[in-house]
């Protein structure tokens, strides 16, 4: 399809159109633009495709060219590019679209305030972030000839619902395509892993690294320089994930080290006298989260027995949620994040709703994380493997590029509200200090005889000391005030 010079669309047509216009096919076939792996990705006719790539592999350019081609074929339609956040969508895709449009004189107009690119034939490409309010509702009920989800490794367990229930049906009207792309995540599991590694769900698979990208000069030399600078061995998980494009378990990159083999549980042990603490994390842009933990005075094991995560709720809804938990559990203490607006909300709870919340101890947070990780390593912190806490623990990552030996920096996205709520409540648990009394030896054994001898010696010594004290007091050597 070619453009018609002087095209006049309906309302909303771009104000400016480049003087010289090319077709996208001409740009795609330009030898200096593409390399074989990228070309195959762009030309793939399948309706469900995936792209697993290392950093700087050229995946974004491939997606951009697919969008340009689809928009050219479907005038006055809308395509969608979705990333983890609106900021990341803009940072990743926006400059690539502008560069390709200018380089190939495609004549598109950019509306930065709306993050929308308009084709000369009236088709648009809209950029979304999964952090946008009600973004699912914005995408539902529409029709798209082309949709892409980028940064898929960080979307978590709702990625499958987003693909199969929301976006895939939206491509039916045009027999359009849906692409799911990203870099291997720190934990080899989840929907994106199943698509790219196990080749499930019928996606046409593509993968390549920056070594295949001819526009990255001396890619392997630069990778080796990074390995030397950071003292990375060839099996370093970050090297394998980010640069070699391999799925490997990277526990070192995870902030919370949950292991379902050690920490999964279904029900509390059948014991009385459980102690319950409620941790509350207040969300402003994020969700409110409540975490109820339980421990027994004669055990070092702490259990996450219930969690609630509710986005965009008001104070009334949060209060009702807390009261419901109070009715369900004999909660002995409630701690709440009083940062930001939390202090005002906490005071409102105390005064008007008679909920005795106390400020959560947020000092030395990383130290508390280490205590929690140590409990997880020993199997002394339990959570259900299908809990939000367990799932989020596989997503929240340490940003080692910004971290220092004295300060750990966490990546902004994905963010977890429930992890903070768990940390607040876990810090109130004294279970870690419990020490089990040694078992008494069997009567008649050498161990029992030695224990009895020690008991008799200590009793005799105590009696002598008491007699000496009485004698001194009788002789007038009492203690002066």
DSSP class of 298:
T
The pLDDT value recorded for residue 19 is 43
346 within 8 A of 320, measured Cβ to Cβ:
no
**For residue 414, is the peptide bond before it cis, meaning its omega torsion is within 30 degrees of 0?**
yes
Backbone angles phi, psi at 223, to 5 degrees: -65, -45
Query: C-alpha dihedral over 248, 251, 253, 255, to 10 degrees?
Result: 150
Residue closest to 421 by CA, chosen among 315, 255, 295, 306: 306
Backbone angles phi, psi at 408, to 5 degrees: -95, 130
**DSSP per-residue letters across 57-79:** SSHHHHHHHHHHHHHHHSTT-EE
How far, CA to CA in Å, does 104 sit from each of 25, 29, 344?
A: 11, 12, 55
User: How many other CB atoms are there within 10 angstroms of residue 256's CB atom?
Assistant: 20
The pLDDT value recorded for residue 133 is 74
The pLDDT value recorded for residue 32 is 64
Residue 62: exposed, middle, or buried by beta-carbon count in 10 A (0-12, 13-18, 19+)?
Answer: buried
The pLDDT value recorded for residue 474 is 75
The pLDDT value recorded for residue 356 is 94
Note the pTM of the prediction, 2 decimals: 0.69
User: 11-18: long-range contacts (C-beta < 8 A, 24 or more apart)?
Assistant: 12/118, 12/122, 13/118, 13/120, 13/122, 14/107, 14/108, 14/109, 14/118, 14/119, 14/120, 15/109, 16/109, 17/107, 17/109, 17/120, 18/105, 18/106, 18/107
The pLDDT value recorded for residue 9 is 35
265 within 8 A of 284, measured Cβ to Cβ:
no
How far, CA to CA in Å, does 216 sit from each of 220, 260, 384?
A: 9, 40, 45
**DSSP per-residue letters across 106-120:** ---EEETTTTEEE-T
28 within 8 A of 69, measured Cβ to Cβ:
yes
Helix/strand/coil for 228: helix
* H-helix or E-strand spanning residue 365: helix 365-377
Residue 408: exposed, middle, or buried by beta-carbon count in 10 A (0-12, 13-18, 19+)?
Answer: middle
Query: What does each of the 481 residues of the chain score in pLDDT, given as a tens digit?
Result: 333 333 333 333 334 444 445 678 877 776 566 899 999 999 999 999 999 999 999 999 999 999 999 999 999 999 999 999 899 999 999 999 999 999 888 999 999 999 999 999 999 999 999 888 778 888 988 999 999 999 999 887 789 999 999 999 999 999 999 999 999 998 898 899 999 999 999 999 999 999 999 989 999 999 999 999 989 999 999 999 999 999 998 888 899 999 999 999 999 998 889 999 999 998 866 789 999 999 999 899 999 999 999 887 888 999 999 999 999 999 999 999 998 778 888 999 999 999 999 999 888 888 999 999 999 999 999 999 999 999 999 889 888 878 887 888 898 877 888 999 999 999 998 887 776 766 677 777 888 788 788 888 888 888 888 888 787 777 765 544 4
Which distant-in-sequence residues (6+ apart) come within 8 Å of 239 by Cβ? Answer: 223, 226, 227, 232
User: How many other CB atoms are there within 10 angstroms of residue 212's CB atom?
Assistant: 17
């Amino acid at each position: 399809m070619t453009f018609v010079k002087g095209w006049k669309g309906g309302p909303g047509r771009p104000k400016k159109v480049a003087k010289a216009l090319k077709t996208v096919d001409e740009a795609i076939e330009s030898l200096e633009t593409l390399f074989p792996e990228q070309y195959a990705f762009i030309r793939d006719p399948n309706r469900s495709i995936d792209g697993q790539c290392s950093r700087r592999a050229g995946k974004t350019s491939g997606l951009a060219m697919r969008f340009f081609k689809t928009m050219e074929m479907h005038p006055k339609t809308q395509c969608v590019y979705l990333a983890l956040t609106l900021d990341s969508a803009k940072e990743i895709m926006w400059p690539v679209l502008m560069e390709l449009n200018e380089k190939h004189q495609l004549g598109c107009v950019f509306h930065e305030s709306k993050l929308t690119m308009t084709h000369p034939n009236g088709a648009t490409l809209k950029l979304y972030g999964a952090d946008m309010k009600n973004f699912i509702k914005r995408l539902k009920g529409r029709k798209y000839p082309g949709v892409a989800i980028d940064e898929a490794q960080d979307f978590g367990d709702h990625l499958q619902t987003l693909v199969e229930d929301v976006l895939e049906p939206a491509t039916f009207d045009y027999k359009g395509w849906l692409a799911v792309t990203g870099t291997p995540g720190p934990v080899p599991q989840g929907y994106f892993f199943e698509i790219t590694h196990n080749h499930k769900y019928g996606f046409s698979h593509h993968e390549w690294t920056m070594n295949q990208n001819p526009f990255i000069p001396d890619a392997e030399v630069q990778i080796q320089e990074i390995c030397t600078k950071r003292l990375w061995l060839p099996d370093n998980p970050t090297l394998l994930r980010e640069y070699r494009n391999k799925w490997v378990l990277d526990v070192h990159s995870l902030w919370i080290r949950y292991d379902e083999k050690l920490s999964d549980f279904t029900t509390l042990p059948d014991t009385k006298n459980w102690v319950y603490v409620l941790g509350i994390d207040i969300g402003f842009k994020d969700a409110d989260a409540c975490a109820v933990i339980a421990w027994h005075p004669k055990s070092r094991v702490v259990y996450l027995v219930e969690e609630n995560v509710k986005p965009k709720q008001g104070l009334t809804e949060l209060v009702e949620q807390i009261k419901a938990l109070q009715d369900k559990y004999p909660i002995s203490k409630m701690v709440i994040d009083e940062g930001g607006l939390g202090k005002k909300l906490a005071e409102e709870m105390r005064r008007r709703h008679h909920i005795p919340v106390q400020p959560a101890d947020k000092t030395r947070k990383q130290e508390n994380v280490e205590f929690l990780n140590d409990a997880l390593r020993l199997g002394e912190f339990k959570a259900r493997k299908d809990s939000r806490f367990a799932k989020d623990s596989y997503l929240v990552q340490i940003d080692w590029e910004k971290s220092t030996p004295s300060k750990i920096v966490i990546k902004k996205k994905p963010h977890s509200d429930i992890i903070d709520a768990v940390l607040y409540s876990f810090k109130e648990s004294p279970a870690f200090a419990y020490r089990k009394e040694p078992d008494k030896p069997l009567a008649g054994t050498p161990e029992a005889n030695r224990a009895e001898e020690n008991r008799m010696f200590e009793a005799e010594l105590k009696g002598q000391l008491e007699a000496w004290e009485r004698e001194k007091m009788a002789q007038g050597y009492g203690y002066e005030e």
